[in-house]
Amino acid sequence: MMRAPTDIVIGGPVYADVPKPAFTPGPSGTHITIRGLTKYFAGWPLYENFNLDIPKNRIVSVFGPNGCGKSTLINMIAGLIPIDSGEILFDGKSLKDTKIGYVFQNYREAMFPWMRTIDNIAYPLKLEGRSKAQVDRRMEELVASFDVKFDLKRYPYELSGGQQQTASIMRALAPEPEVLFLDEPFSALDFEMTLFIREKLQEVFMQTGTTMLLVSHDLEEAVYLADQVLLLTKRPTRVAEILPYGDARPRTVDTLSEQSFVQTKKLSLEIFQREVRR
């Protein structure tokens, strides 16, 4: 039986009435504002009172030690994993008022196998209630943007891994999201396809300015694509450093030998090793 608020339990626990702290907005140019994010697993804190500001129209790479919760962080921001407490706003809006896209690491499980690839890509557009003419027009734009050479009328399981991941990225971009989340999108791809997808993501970013959050286990890849490298500590996870990287786009193989790239990668590695050894 539930007790009335006026009931007193002798010897029961006493809870302090702690007021919720006022929400502090991020600096000008912030897209995603995270305040007081807390997440426990099996009674142990992964994130505790975690604050972060993610800039608008930038690519932010997330890098850190194994088990620090890189994928968990973007999954919480994207609403795929519930948070225990805290607040996350997108341009001052809640997640339900924000259009997002998500590219999963496991592309084989991300696509609907009973749908043709072209129908998979168009699926979010149909959910939005767009007309056939609008869907067809957007599909033509995506096919041209990604220079698609394979047959989109085939089923996903009939495509190569790189083709499936290309289709997954096209689907995530189809509704023109405000934020695109990418959880290790290259980890299962061969080197040739990785280079292709990197190039296409850069092209999309240069055309649209879509805010992107990229989780990577490859430091070179993390720095190469980023405007900011978000380096995390071991759990309970905090921000170790946020390193800016401002080389002009499009970045190419020549970028890898630029002094600014080498220095940013070196500093990122030093911070990573410092955190691993703690």
Per-residue confidence (pLDDT) for residue 15, from 0 to 100? 42
Q: Which of 212, 183, 271, 206 is nearest to 60 (CA)?
A: 212
Per-residue confidence (pLDDT) for residue 45, from 0 to 100? 95
Model confidence pLDDT, tens digit, residues 29-63: 999 999 999 999 999 999 999 999 999 999 999 99
Is the pLDDT at 83 greater than 50, yes or no? yes
Mean pLDDT of 101-126: 94
Is residue 264 a contact partner of residue 213, using CB atoms and an 8 Å limit? no
Per-residue confidence (pLDDT) for residue 20, from 0 to 100? 66
Model confidence pLDDT, tens digit, residues 165-184: 999 999 999 999 999 999 99
What's this model's pTM, rounded to 2 decimal places? 0.90
